[in-house]
Amino acid sequence: MAFVTILDENKRLVDGNEIAAYLTTCGINYERWIPAHEVAADAAAEEILRAYSKEIDELKAQGGYVTADVIDVGPETPGLEQMLAKFNREHWHDEDEVRFIISGHGLFHIHTRAGQVVAIEVEAGDLIRVPRGTWHWFNLCGDRRIRAIRLFQDMAGWTPLYTDSGADKNCQPLCFGVSHLPYEAPVLL
């Protein structure tokens, strides 16, 4: 289950329905896919895509996505820091950012048109769709690992376009769902 923090209001949402309803007001689609399919989190990418083929086909039909793949990053991934450094600065894409989380954790920050900054911590079973043009940035959590199905309308649109608004500099990336500690140490990438 995701955690959502509305930073300006210091308010945290933990109920799935409340999260989905609130994120809709921010233009973000959030769904919880339960039950997830019986496929191991470390299964081959093809196996995961096959297990979720019905959901993937539905998303493709809804959003005009033409390809799906599985992104798999962890501490052992070569060049992880450089890869993540591209996405932990506020940016937008000319492409929706659609992720269904298979394992691990991630922290999206959304900078809404109304000027609010919303942190969305995602984990296995969470689907998030950040529409094209949305200002956002992304960090890993303390486990430094995420595996997710991605969908694309056109992979050329995936290039991050930076805003340089500075909003990302004012937010510490805090994850709540990873460790037994009340507050996960921030991962500054």
The site for Fe ion (CB under 5 A) is made up of: 97
Q: Which is nearer to Fe ion, 22 or 92 (CB)?
A: 92
Q: Is residue 26 within 8 Å of 120, Cβ to Cβ?
A: no
List strands edge to edge, sheet with 161-162: 11-13, 3-6, 117-122, 106-111, 135-140, 91-92, 161-162
Name the residue number minimizing CB distance to Fe ion: 97
Q: Which is nearer to Fe ion, 42 or 154 (CB)?
A: 154
Least distance (Å) between residue 92 CB and Fe ion: 7
CA–CA gap between residue 15 and residue 22 (Å, rounded): 10
Q: Which is nearer to Fe ion, 97 or 143 (CB)?
A: 97
Place of tokens 């689609």: 29
Residues linked to residue 111 through DSSP beta bridges, in sequence order = 117, 135
Q: Is residue 30 within 8 Å of 2, Cβ to Cβ?
A: yes
Q: Which is nearer to Fe ion, 12 or 86 (CB)?
A: 86
Least distance (Å) between residue 94 CB and Fe ion: 11
- Return the closest-CA partner of residue 75 out of 1, 144, 5, 2: 144
Least distance (Å) between residue 77 CB and Fe ion: 17
Least distance (Å) between residue 186 CB and Fe ion: 19
**Phi then psi for 184, rounded to 5 degrees?**
-75, 135
Least distance (Å) between residue 97 CB and Fe ion: 5
Q: Which is nearer to Fe ion, 97 or 121 (CB)?
A: 97
Q: Which helix (H) or strand (E) element contains residue 53?
A: helix 53-63
